[in-house]
């Protein structure tokens, strides 16, 4: 009988029972991809990671990331959550110098390549983590029919921004369709019609829609305290991954940082705070940033807090 140890954590939140759930598994060496996929479906979280000894010099651990429907090359909340769990459980220990400095870097070897994660420490305890994407932003315009996109989202064409912010596919390792809406109310009202999605975006390079709207940084009555005052409200739909909607999507938010930075005419570090998962009852807060030099984006980062929730074992017979 084989025993797999797992740790679950809520990611992109400082409050238990909010954010995006993640299972981090240890001891899966030698198991087939099919078995890893079955374990992922057993947890049925939006993603599960499997941690192995490093395969590439300069990396801390090798990590494979699965949704209930497939393995993905990169994802933000599994990267942030896995780095947090590695440090929180003592699987990776900070040095005395790192404890004194209040931060350390964990480098995860993922299918997109090495992904560095800077982990903030409070007396050696992880409190917040920020990844830097292995890939810089890429954009492709695949769909120009705003009427079709609006119908797919159960919205009106007037709810969708056009011009420079017209829908476009964007990726920093995993592609999403960026759809800027005119208001937070439109974000709330969005309902994905899967039959229309199959016709409009199914099979496209960026087939998963991310809808978002600027909030102006205002507080909202009834909104959880840890997501008050965010700059952006967002939702991400991933209908063919076994997770119809995702409560916090670091890879999509990385792409969003690139999308917004490409339309911001200034250099330096650009930052936004994003609230996601509100409509699902799993409010999440993601800190995203892009750095530009000479008009070119040269770094994308996504950060947030995590809360360890459970530690246990799974027996494979």
Sorted by where each begins, the domain ranges of the chain are 2-132+306-316, 138-304
pLDDT of residue 73 exceeding 90: yes
Catalytic residue among 15, 34, 42, 47: 47
Can you tell me the distance from the alpha carbon of 70 to that of 49, in angstroms, rounded to the nearest whole number? 12
pLDDT tens digits along 80-100: 999 999 999 999 999 999 999
- Mean per-residue pLDDT, 299-308: 98
CATH fold match for the domains 2-132+306-316 and 138-304: yes
Q: What is the CATH architecture assignment of 138-304?
A: Roll (3.10)
- 47 catalytic? Reply is yes
pLDDT tens digits along 240-299: 887 789 999 999 999 999 999 999 999 999 999 999 999 999 999 999 999 999 999 999
The dotted CATH code for 2-132+306-316 is 3.10.310.10
> Rounded to two decimals, what is the model's pTM?
0.95
Q: What percent of the chain has pLDDT over 70?
A: 100
pLDDT tens digits along 168-210: 999 999 999 999 999 999 999 999 999 999 999 999 999 999 9
């Amino acid at each position: 009988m084989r025993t797999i140890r797992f740790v679950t954590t809520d990611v992109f939140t400082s409050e238990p029972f909010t954010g995006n759930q993640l299972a981090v598994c240890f001891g899966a060496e030698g198991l087939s991809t099919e078995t890893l996929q079955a374990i992922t479906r057993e947890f049925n979280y939006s993603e599960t990671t499997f941690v192995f000894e490093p395969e590439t010099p300069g990396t801390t651990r090798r990590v494979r990331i699965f949704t209930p429907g497939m393995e993905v090359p990169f994802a933000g909340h599994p990267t942030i959550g896995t780095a947090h769990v590695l440090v929180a459980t003592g699987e990776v220990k900070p040095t005395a110098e790192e404890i004194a400095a209040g931060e350390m870097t964990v480098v995860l070897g993922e299918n997109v390549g090495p992904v560095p994660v800077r982990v903030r420490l409070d007396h050696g305890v992880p409190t917040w983590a920020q990844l830097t994407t292995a890939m810089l932003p890429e954009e492709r315009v695949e769909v120009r029919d705003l009427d079709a996109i609006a119908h797919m989202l159960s919205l009106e064409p007037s709810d969708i921004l056009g011009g420079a912010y017209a829908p476009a596919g964007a990726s920093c390792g995993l592609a999403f369709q960026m759809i800027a809406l005119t208001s937070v109310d439109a974000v709330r009202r969005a309902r994905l019609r899967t039959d229309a999605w199959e016709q409009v975006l199914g099979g496209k390079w960026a087939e998963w829609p991310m809808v978002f709207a600027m909030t102006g940084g205002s507080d909202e009555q009834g909104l959880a305290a840890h997501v008050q005052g965010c700059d952006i409200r967002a939702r991400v739909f991933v209908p063919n991954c076994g997770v119809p909607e995702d409560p916090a999507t670091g890879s999509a938010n990385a792409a969003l940082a690139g999308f917004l930075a490409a339309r911001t005419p200034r250099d330096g570090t650009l930052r936004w705070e994003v609230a996601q998962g509100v409509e699902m009852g799993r409010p999440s807060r993601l800190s995203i940033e892009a750095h530009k030099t000479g008009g070119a984006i040269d770094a994308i980062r996504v950060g947030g807090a995590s809360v360890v929730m459970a530690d246990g074992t799974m027996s494979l017979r």
